[in-house]
Amino acid sequence: MIPLTNYNFQIGDGTEPAIECLPILYKKKGIKKDDLRLLILLLLFNGWREIAVFAARGVVRYLWSINYEEAQLLFNAYLLLKPKYNHAIEEAYKENAKNSIYQITEKQVLAKFTEANKEDIEKIEKGLIKFDDITDIERIDLEVLARAFDLIPDGSEDKIHIQFIKKVFPIFAEFESKYDEYKRNNYTLKQSIIKKIASYLLNSSLNNIKKRAKPFVDKYSSSEFMGDFFQELISTEDRLGNYDEFWTVWQVFYDKIVDMSKNEGTHRIAINLSDLID
């Protein structure tokens, strides 16, 4: 494994471009792919949200086009091992608390993680982690699922990605009804999920949008989550210019919105109609 030292993120310290550009090193002859793979994976595990975001952005922007198999391997490895890394964090806190120590170090967590997951780490080094190795996706923490979703290219129709999306979209669709108050009130997490869903749908083929959006139509409610989703959909369409895709998504939800408006009176989704017209 690659050793890490404790680090405190600071805006503008150069970590963003340095981390995002790491996948470009796969183009370099003689690069040790297993070391680079583990480094990016550990950055995705990082407790600083910004660091994990930079790593995910680098995978999406560069790695899928440079080395598709490596990107898929990282996606699989993240889903399989991030929950186990989180468990190592919990164990480190419990162990230290017994000695009245209420902080942990990355070195301590990494030691526990590597000791408990030697076989999986060896499989990662050899490039043998498969999506089928991951079980009970529905039980994985919501934040882990959201970051894994971030790793998928927008609009991807890869068979593995579709398997994943079919499992997580129903989970995301129940964001406000199923998850505890902390996650419902976690604005950053909610916006991250909403932005990715909007971008994914608007980059999907017209023929696939209806079935991809179906879990959200089935669980549709006049909630803050759905209101924010439509606002983000408008913003994303403005940025991408995917006009036909936008109206296809809108039509998928149209009947639900009309029916709920009739049943509940004034609808809670605050959509600026001038934005739609423009």
* pLDDT tens-digit readout, 207-218: 999 999 999 999
Final residue in a domain of this structure, among 85, 116, 132: 132
Do residues 76 and 23 both lie within one domain? yes
Domain span holding position 251: 136-278
pTM above 0.85, yes or no: yes
Using the predicted structure, report yes or no on whether residue 123 has a pLDDT greater than 70: yes
User: How many structural domains is the chain composed of?
Assistant: 2
Do residues 141 and 278 both lie within one domain? yes
* Percent of the chain scoring above 70 in pLDDT: 87
Q: Tens digit of pLDDT for each residue in 246-258?
A: 999 999 998 888 8
> pLDDT grade, residue 186 (50/70/90)?
confident
* Percent of the chain scoring above 90 in pLDDT: 63
Q: Tens digit of pLDDT for each residue in 101-112?
A: 888 888 899 999
Residue 2: per-residue pLDDT: 41
Final residue in a domain of this structure, among 70, 101, 132: 132
Do residues 94 and 183 both lie within one domain? no
Residue 144: per-residue pLDDT: 96
Do residues 250 and 183 both lie within one domain? yes
Residue 249: per-residue pLDDT: 94
CB burial of 29-57 (b: ≥16 within 10 Å; e: otherwise) equals: eeeeeeebbbbbbbbbbbeeeebbbbbbb
Do residues 142 and 111 both lie within one domain? no
> pLDDT grade, residue 8 (50/70/90)?
low
7 vs 173 pLDDT, higher one: 173
Do residues 1 and 47 both lie within one domain? yes
Do residues 196 and 209 both lie within one domain? yes
**CA 39 remoteness from chain centre:** 18
Looking at residues 160-186, what average pLDDT do you find? 84
Do residues 34 and 149 both lie within one domain? no
Final residue in a domain of this structure, among 100, 132, 164: 132
Do residues 118 and 21 both lie within one domain? yes
Residue 246: per-residue pLDDT: 94
Looking at residues 64-89, what average pLDDT do you find? 96
> Given the structure tokens 């997951």, which residue do they identify?
117
Do residues 121 and 159 both lie within one domain? no
Rounded mean pLDDT of the chain?
87
Residue 105: per-residue pLDDT: 87
Between CA 114 and CA 5 the distance in angstroms is 16
Residue 213: per-residue pLDDT: 95
Residue 1: per-residue pLDDT: 40
CB burial of 205-228 (b: ≥16 within 10 Å; e: otherwise) equals: eeeebeebbebbbebbbbbebbeb
